[in-house]
Amino acid sequence: MKFIYTLMVSMLIFTACDTDLDQFPPKNIETNALNDFTGVLNAAYHYQTGTSTPLAIMGDFRADNMIMEEEPFPAFDRFNSDLAGGDLLEQFFRPYYSNLYKAILSANIVIEKSTDATQIGEAQFLRALSYFKLVMVFGDVPVNLAATPSTTDTSILTRQSSADIYNNVIIPDLRAAIAALNNSGLATGRASNIAARAFLGKVYMHLGDFTNAATELALVVNGAAAAGISLEANFENVVNDTSSEIIFATIRSTSVPDEYGFTEFPGWFAGADTKSPTPLDPSLTAAFDAAFSAGGGTGVDIRKSGTIDIVNLTGSFKFPGELEQDWIEMRLSDVILMYAEALNENSSPAATTLALLNPIRTRAGLNSLVGTATTQAEVRQAIADERRLELALEGHRWFDLVRTGTVDTELGETVNSNYYIFPIPNSEILASGGVITQNPGY
């Protein structure tokens, strides 16, 4: 990983702009000379911005919510080796991959060298988030937990199993962040106690550990009000930068380039790029209509008109193309839906589980699902359907299908599990001298 060697020598230092996370790197400085690690920590936040658009494209265009039209980009809708071909691999996956490792190295420096407990807690949260994003997309990946990794020991480039990374890095880091942080960071877009706990619950969901997931997610749901988090009354406001239900978001600004060189996610969803001028998948429109007919309501699912444009065949309403629109990493609706799912997998009564969805359904103009689904399998499907519509175009759909083992069922085709994850950038494989290996099938 050549970026590790580059960042070993110098580190981006950020000066304040509109907010403490809205910053531009004016100079480099050797990390051994630092005694204030604020800039290094802000760099770890900044590097998350380079992951938002790739996550959106993988989450929704890979699944059945959005489609690509101009080759080679329809490779996202094909489950073969095409994603690893040509410039597509480098354009989409290398910025994602490299930015996360830059965030990790920045976090390592803060964890190892700072004496500020809050800074360390934030860095542990960001390191956990970065490895979670890497594992979710690529599976097994290299692990570096040092501020100054060896330039001669190539063993640090060997890919570690995702199970080990979850158990030895992600979960311990999130638990450490929970212990170190309060919720004062919520107002400024920084890591917080409740954000760390929400992601810990999500991690357990990805591991299929529904007992621990339910425990952590219950604490988030029950502690949301005290932290100043609540469901937005109007669905059209759920992904606004000022939304009351945001638990954690990656702050984006046109004043700070995010190292992703193509159209950003609001543009992709709005059809502003020639690669996908009419990106709306008809399956998503049908899903909104089916939700109304199944659950009933006062007219239509309000989320439909607040998410997609069925005239222009885009998803332009949720993301109207604002260049500075933040990327919502976690919001309260997501947590409530995961909590309901965890309870159902733990065999909680159907009525108890589905009642948790009532505030989300009511906001959408729909009736309660209590009584419409009674078996565990029926409740499981109802929650999955609700997640698709509530979180549409927020980068969740594909990863939910993989996590729940429902790729084939929902997409209506048999998909080789090799293509549940994505190809490692060839540039990283070459830079490692072949120590980093490619995922099977690519």
pLDDT in tens, 39-86: 999 999 999 999 999 999 999 999 999 999 999 999 999 999 999 987
CA nearest 197: which of 158, 229, 151, 165?
A: 229
Q: What whole-number percentage of the chain has pLDDT above 70? A: 89
Q: Which of 1-5, 182-186, 413-417 has the lowest mean pLDDT?
A: 1-5
Q: What is the pLDDT of residue 15?
A: 29
How much is the average pLDDT of 211-237?
97
> How do strand 327-331 and strand 246-250 relate by DSSP bridges?
antiparallel
How far apart, in whole angstroms, are the C-alpha atoms of residue 21 and residue 425? 28
How far apart, in whole angstroms, are the C-alpha atoms of residue 356 and residue 368? 10
Tokens for 17? 């702009």
CATH number for 109: 1.25.40.390
Cis peptide before 72 (omega within 30 of 0): yes
How far apart, in whole angstroms, are the C-alpha atoms of residue 261 and residue 283? 29
Residue-wise pLDDT for 333-345, tens only, equals: 999 999 999 999 9
Q: What is the pLDDT of residue 294?
A: 61
In the predicted structure, residue 371 carries a pLDDT above the cut 80: yes
pTM of the model: 0.92
Q: Which of 142-146, 261-265, 296-300 has the highest mean pLDDT?
A: 142-146
| Per-residue pLDDT band at 113 (split at 50, 70, 90) | very high
How much is the average pLDDT of 272-294?
87
400 in any annotated domain: yes
Higher pLDDT, 299 or 115: 115
370 in any annotated domain: yes
CB contact at 8 A, 287 and 386: no
State how far the alpha carbon of 331 is from the alpha carbons of 33, 174, 306, 372, in Å.
38, 17, 17, 26
Q: What is the pLDDT of residue 21?
A: 36
How much is the average pLDDT of 122-136?
98
How far apart, in whole angstroms, are the C-alpha atoms of residue 284 and residue 304? 9
Q: Which of 256-270, 275-289, 359-373 has the lowest mean pLDDT?
A: 256-270
Q: What is the pLDDT of residue 2?
A: 36
Angle at 62 between CA 378 and CA 94, to 5 degrees: 135
Q: What is the pLDDT of residue 88?
A: 82
How much is the average pLDDT of 310-331?
86
> How do strand 24-29 and strand 141-142 relate by DSSP bridges?
unpaired
398 in any annotated domain: yes
Q: How far apart are the first and last CA of the chain?
A: 19
Tokens for 251? 């702050």
CA nearest 214: which of 77, 344, 305?
A: 344
Nearest 5°: phi and psi at 189? 80, 15
DSSP 91: I
In the predicted structure, residue 14 carries a pLDDT above the cut 50: no
Domain range for residue 253?
Answer: 2-76+83-431
What residue type is assigned to position 389 of the chain?
L
Q: What is the pLDDT of residue 10?
A: 33
In the predicted structure, residue 139 carries a pLDDT above the cut 80: yes
Q: Which of 8-22, 164-178, 285-299, 315-329 has the highest mean pLDDT?
A: 164-178
Mean pLDDT of the chain: 89
| Per-residue pLDDT band at 17 (split at 50, 70, 90) | very low
438 in any annotated domain: no
442 in any annotated domain: no
How much is the average pLDDT of 345-355?
98
362 in any annotated domain: yes
State how far the alpha carbon of 405 is from the alpha carbons of 4, 76, 183, 400, 410, in Å.
35, 19, 34, 8, 10
How far apart, in whole angstroms, are the C-alpha atoms of residue 368 and residue 295? 7
Tokens for 351? 């009525």
440 in any annotated domain: no
In the predicted structure, residue 28 carries a pLDDT above the cut 90: no
How much is the average pLDDT of 305-309?
94
Q: What is the pLDDT of residue 110?
A: 98
CB contact at 8 A, 428 and 97: yes
CA nearest 245: which of 374, 326, 140, 334?
A: 334
Burial level of 54, CB count in 10 A (0-12/13-18/19+)?
buried
In the predicted structure, residue 280 carries a pLDDT above the cut 80: yes
Q: What is the pLDDT of residue 323?
A: 65
How far apart, in whole angstroms, are the C-alpha atoms of residue 416 and residue 420? 8
| Per-residue pLDDT band at 262 (split at 50, 70, 90) | confident
| Structural domain total, the chain | 1
Q: What is the pLDDT of residue 193?
A: 98
How far apart, in whole angstroms, are the C-alpha atoms of residue 79 and residue 405? 16
Tokens for 219? 């604490």
How far apart, in whole angstroms, are the C-alpha atoms of residue 383 and residue 394? 17
